[in-house]
Amino acid sequence: MTTSDHPVGIDFGGSGIKGAPVDVEQGDFTADRVRIPTPQPSKPDAVAEVFAELLTKFPDCHGPVGVTVPGVVRHGVVHSAANIDKGWLGADADALFTEATGRDVHVVNDADAAGLAEVRYGAAKGRSGLVIVTTLGTGIGSALVYDGVLVPNSELGHLEVDGHAAETRAANSVREAEDLSWEKWAKRLTKYYRELERLFSPELFVVGGGVSKKAGEFLPLLDIDTEIVPATLRNHAGAVGAALYAWEESGKG
């Protein structure tokens, strides 16, 4: 694969938009990642302009472009916008970004992108069967990947546990806000992961999000039957997974 063929992965977050070309054979960036502040308000047209600007930083890369979005995405259309501007609801992001950038752009849910990256290149590489990747952050993101194939938009952070949406009790943001000890937080996480076990019987859980850097503090405290491991790609996972998704959606993979 030549440099010009490499897809570009863009991670669209609330505060920053980060992107880089990705070698989909190795699962790593081929150039330094560029970060541009997310425009406020983060309306689709304004974000599209930033994407076009970001792509000019990689003039030698002409492959497809993958973009993460913190919302449900079906056929390139955004169907939820909990943490981004409401103008995204119903937006055909694939078409908007393709027109704005002149490139073949494919949009994917942010947790799904991270999950895909962890299964292909990271903590779950080489694992068969059902892998559930969860990101513990402001909320709880999830990705279901079966034999390497993504089952999109699972939104398992919204599962009800003890009468509450799981992410309102067990997200890392809740641990911080309530100043929970690792032990108390682990009890809440145990209930959550046991519910996932009951419903899906996965082969492996992978835990991502910034708190995964402290996995040794809480993963050993979980009382569950399924193997559970920390993510390894960390903050690269979204962009790498988005690039891989775009590469395959464009017919390259």
Q: What is the C-alpha separation between 70 and 78, in angstroms, rounded?
A: 9
> Domains in the chain, please, with CATH?
3-112+236-249 (3.30.420.40), 123-232 (3.30.420.40)
Phi-psi category of residue 149: left, alpha or beta, with phi > 0 → left and psi -120 to 50 → alpha: beta
pLDDT at 118: 97
- Mean pLDDT by groups of 10 residues along the chain of 253 residues: 81 91 95 94 93 94 93 92 83 94 95 96 96 94 95 94 95 97 98 98 96 96 98 93 95 69
Q: What is the C-alpha separation between 109 and 54, in angstroms, rounded?
A: 20
The DSSP letter of residue 230 is: E
Q: What is the C-alpha separation between 182 and 43, in angstroms, rounded?
A: 38
Fill in the amino acid letter for 228. I
- Which 3 state secondary structure label does DSSP give 113? helix
- Give 127-130 contacts, CB < 8 A, sequence gap 24+: 127/203, 127/204, 128/203, 129/202, 129/203, 129/204, 130/200, 130/201, 130/202, 130/203
The pair of three-digit structure tokens given for residue 188, joined into one six-digit string: 């809440």
pLDDT at 1: 56
The answer for residues whose C-beta is within 8 angstroms of residue 41's C-beta and 6 or more apart is 85, 87
pLDDT at 18: 95
pLDDT at 5: 86
This prediction's pTM: 0.92
Q: Which helix (H) or strand (E) holds 207?
A: strand 204-208
204-208 and 130-136: which strand pairing? Answer: parallel
Instruction: Look up tokens 């995405």; give the residue.
Output: 73
Terminal-to-terminal C-alpha distance of the chain? 12
Nearest to 226 by CA among 201, 208, 195, 209: 201
What residue spans of the chain are helical by DSSP H? Answer: 44-55, 93-101, 110-120, 167-170, 172-177, 182-200, 215-218, 237-249
Integer CA distances (angstroms), 105 to 7, 165, 242, in order? 10, 33, 10
Question: Contact 222/204 with Cβ under 8 angstroms?
Answer: no
pLDDT at 109: 94
